Amino acid sequence: MSAAPAPTLESLAADLSAGRTTSRALVEECLARIADPAGEGGRVFLGVDAEAARTAAEGMDRLRAAGAAPSPYAGIPVSVKDLFDIAGQVTRAGSRALDDAPPAASDAVAVARLRRAGFVVIGRTNMTEFAYSGLGINPHYGTPRNPWRREEGRVPGGSSSGAAISVTDGMAHAALGTDTGGSCRIPAAFTGLTGFKPTARRVPLEGSVPLSGTLDSIGPIARSVGCCAVLDAVLADEPLRPLDMLALDGLRLLVPETVALDGLEEAVATAFEAALSRLSRAGARITRAPVPEFSAVAEMNALGGYTASESYHWHRPLLERRGADYDPRVSSRIRRGAGMSAADYLDLQRARGDFIRRVVARISGFDALVMPTAPILPPRIAALADEAAYTAANLAALRNPTLVNMMDGCAISVPAARPPEAPVGLMLAGAAGQDRRLLALAAAVETVLAA
């Protein structure tokens, strides 16, 4: 007998409305899973707001009883990546180097918007230190283990590692993450979840520790496209309204043959091709064609790109004071920014501007790009002790998502395979500002792939 599907935000909202559950009950269930000594809670959360969550839940239950709940989702527990300020708490960004920082005076804008909609913050989730990797390994606080073949100790994906596992393991019902080069989409792809990267300017960055101000975006990791759409509306401060699913029949999807399909592991290639076949049978028009502009991304980032240059600017004083407390794999990558000159940075700006114009023109006749989210399956943590293996896996995981960040687009990863198959993500992407239409398209794709 198969297990019941994990609840979505819509199903939880319906249960709360009908009195089948309460916010306090949902919070207690999540806290119990976090505290389970046989579970991943100790590696997933860097801080748990148990009493604050209980108090908030009770408040939401009273508001709902009075007919005054701030949204249908009021009272649902969510997790927050350790990159975000929460009033009264120290934001460590998964690092030891910030453990002496003063507590935040106020919530980050994204956190404040979640609270305003009535979501209950259950705690702060673990992450790659300073968000600088797509694998999710953290030597300071431990690495949450992927639910797929958990006994083998596989990476969860990063940098929003704890965010994803908080959802897969029922410690929260959705998670707030960030995405600079795939940090929402890679963990989602590696764990069978859905991760949305909005257009970079869609959600304010205030109150979050930056990686790259140019590329950083704030988005959700959750159990469905619908869940991501709800959270996206809240985070973007837009009205909550039903997502109008697009009909797949006749929609044009472009599979880029340049870079995005290179070196796919067999299981990824098989799941991706099977997903394309199902979408084609549902009426989608699949076109495979080169996108030669994608071959320029590696060269644009050869000196470290925006992540190295812009992160070094922010980290330089902290590296001088607490550099020994960084993960060397992170600090070495940040320090690459010291070697970039102002001329190098301006060259990158010009090259990216041209890249965006050319890619947007090339894809203008299509409804979305479609490609594997990552070309690899989640590797074993132990296998990445070797620096060469770590670097190769990290670059592979980040490669396809980074294409979208560099083109200033929006993207979503949905599961292309279902358990017991290995987790593989299918990524849909569009140009800047097409967020809601992309979500509507992704909802249709999800329906076909989940059938």
What DSSP assignment string belongs to 41-79?
A: HHHHEEEE-HHHHHHHHHHHHHHHHTT--SSTTTT-EEE
Q: Which of 23, 133, 159, 224 is catalytic?
A: 159
Give the angle 423-277-409 at the CA atoms, nearest 5°: 65
Residue with tokens 């902290």: 318
What the chain holds in terms of domains, given with CATH numbers, is: 9-235 (3.90.1300.10), 252-410+417-450 (3.90.1300.10)
Mean pLDDT computed over every residue of the chain: 97
Burial class (CB in 10 A: 0-12, 13-18, 19+), 45: buried
In this prediction, residues 193-206 reach a mean pLDDT of: 98
Instruction: Give tens-digit pLDDT for 136-161.
Output: 999 999 999 999 999 999 999 999 99
What does the pLDDT average to over 428-435?
Answer: 98
Q: What is the pLDDT of residue 426?
A: 99
Once rounded to an integer, what is the mean pLDDT over residues 69-98?
Answer: 98
What is the percent of the chain where pLDDT is above 90? 98
In this predicted structure, the answer to whether residue 1 has a pLDDT above a threshold of 60 is: no
Q: What is the pTM of this model?
A: 0.98
Indicate the length of the chain as a whole number: 451
Catalytic residue among 133, 183, 224, 311: 183
**What is the DSSP code (8-state) at residue 420?**
T
Active site residue 183: yes
Q: Which residues contact 439 (CB under 8 A, 6 or more apart)?
A: 196, 225, 228, 229, 232, 243, 412
> Does 2 have pLDDT greater than 70?
no
d(CA 128, CA 136): 5
pLDDT, tens digit, for every residue of 20-62? Answer: 999 999 999 999 999 999 999 999 999 999 999 999 999 999 9
pLDDT for 68 beyond 50: yes
Distance CA 393, CA 339 (A): 24
Report residue 176's pLDDT band, with 50, 70 and 90 as the boundaries: very high
- Residue 153's alpha-carbon distances to 199, 238, 331, in angstroms, are 33, 40, 25
Is 197 catalytic? The answer is no
Q: What is the average per-residue pLDDT within 79-106?
A: 98
Q: Decide the pairing of beta strands 217-222 and 175-179.
A: antiparallel
Cis peptide preceding 159, ω within 30 of 0:
yes
pLDDT at 91 over 50: yes
The model's pLDDT over 324-336, given as tens digits with 9 standing for 90+, comes to 999 999 999 999 9
332 is known as an active-site residue:
no
Catalytic pick from 23, 81, 161, 208? 81
pLDDT class for 4, splitting at 50, 70, 90? confident
